Structure 1
């Protein structure tokens, strides 16, 4: 059982190699409860790190503990308390939004899912098929589960990538409504306006920064309007 002051995530000397490519090299850090922004350019190792933390990718070496569990030998226990949201929408395009809502309501309860639908402003799209929606709306549908799940840890990989400004704003606002007990780790080029507690920066597979939110750190990766300069 994880105590209140225990680290939610412990990473020590983490290295991941793919043949001759080193995706992560000797990365060490801890994450306490709160909201964490994981920054880094394409290829910096953000997705690799999230896949390791979620137990989908075994590291070459190093120690990883997530919510007190080993994600590779105690995945069943971990998955009951954690969600990993990838940078793609997984729902079949032929499903309607209402069908997704019904499925999630059976798992998490009507009230929590209904609240998430309202926060994400999806009420007018319930009877549309996923394939009929814009990318921004599809991503908002994908956000229903993490917002209604009440899991202790949520990992998100680039949830804002390629989205319109309205969907970015709506998703950010919805994420700000997560309970305090939920730890949110977001790999993103967008500095979340939801009271980020910790910033982790990866560069070339190495840890470049780990600490509190600092404007000068974030400005290296985002434009003056708060979004990345491509």
Structure 2
């Protein structure tokens, strides 16, 4: 089943900038779907439209059968966004941060989330005292506490050390294991290759590739998704000259 459907989606800002220029894609329920592309390509704009932060200029967008923007109240109940810049409440403890979001969603039992993200020994630490990796785990905990159907992760491992990155990878895999759809925007191609069922590459507001990581690697006759992506970018930038 397709839980996200985008058809001919455009987003044109008031200054005339065309952030999205007719993109179309589907995301299957329970898959990890990675969104790749250079800065300014339209990744964050797409996530903001899917999560009802921005309104589309035109096109059709549905999430779990609900339309954007007319059904946004229902959509917000079933999706969660974990932004790259999530800061939490710096002077509150981990427990208090998670408790705040649990109260927002009307959730009483948070033990499974705390256990799953290995946060039990850190509950009494203030958010500002945490390492980058722990802050990211708390961000994800706050994002999934309401048991969403779709989680949007925007650059979830940027700036993290290798061990912390791999901890986040395991969390993403565990979300998929629970049937949660993960929409991942990342610049790390090894991350996308290891985690994704499928990837879409967006360039200057248009989808230029949509396939499994192995299909893209095979198409460009490369060893890794990163090498294939760089070759695709080289070809696209050459066409634009």
Instruction: Determine the C-alpha separation between the residues in 2 that align with 1:42 and 1:116.
Output: 32
Instruction: Determine the C-alpha separation between the residues in 1 that align with 2:33 and 2:210.
Output: 10
Instruction: Determine the C-alpha separation between the residues in 1 that align with 2:44 and 2:195.
Output: 23
Give the superposition deviation at 1:194: 6.2
Q: State whether structure 2 residue 112 is matched by structure 1 residue 139.
A: no
| TM-score, normalising length: structure 2 | 0.81
Given candidates 4, 9, 21, the residue that maps to 1:9 is 4
SS, match of residue 175 in structure 1:
helix
Q: State whether structure 2 residue 14 is matched by structure 1 residue 25.
A: no
Which residue of structure 2 lines up, in the alignment, with residue 121 of structure 1?
118
| Compared CA separation, residues 167 and 147, structure 1 to 2 (3 A) | farther
Q: Could you list the per-position Cα deviations for residues 113-144 of structure 1 after superposition, in whole angstroms to 9, with x for gaps in the alignment? A: 32332333323321111111222221111011
Which residue of structure 2 lines up, in the alignment, with residue 71 of structure 1?
68
| Residue correspondence of structure 1 range 155-170 to structure 2 within 5 A | 155-170=152-167
Q: Could you list the per-position Cα deviations for residues 15-46 of structure 1 after superposition, in whole angstroms to 9, with x for gaps in the alignment? A: 11222322111111111121111111111110
Instruction: Determine the C-alpha separation between the residues in 2 that align with 1:15 and 1:142.
Output: 30
Structure 2: gaps (5+ residues): 231-241
Structure 1: gaps (5+ residues): 223-230
Which residue of structure 2 lines up, in the alignment, with residue 108 of structure 1?
107
Q: State whether structure 2 residue 178 is matched by structure 1 residue 183.
A: no
Q: State whether structure 2 residue 234 is matched by structure 1 residue 207.
A: no
Runs of 4+ in structure 1 off by over 4 angstroms are 192-195
Q: Which is helix-richer, 1 or 2? A: 2
Q: Could you list the per-position Cα deviations for residues 86-116 of structure 1 after superposition, in whole angstroms to 9, with x for gaps in the alignment? A: 1121422111112123334553342xx3233
Instruction: Determine the C-alpha separation between the residues in 2 that align with 1:68 and 1:120.
Output: 30
Aligned CA-pair RMSD: 2.1
| Compared CA separation, residues 132 and 195, structure 1 to 2 (3 A) | closer
| TM-score, normalising length: structure 1 | 0.84
Which residue of structure 1 lines up, in the alignment, with residue 234 of structure 2?
none
Give the superposition deviation at 1:207: 0.4
Number of residue equivalences? 215
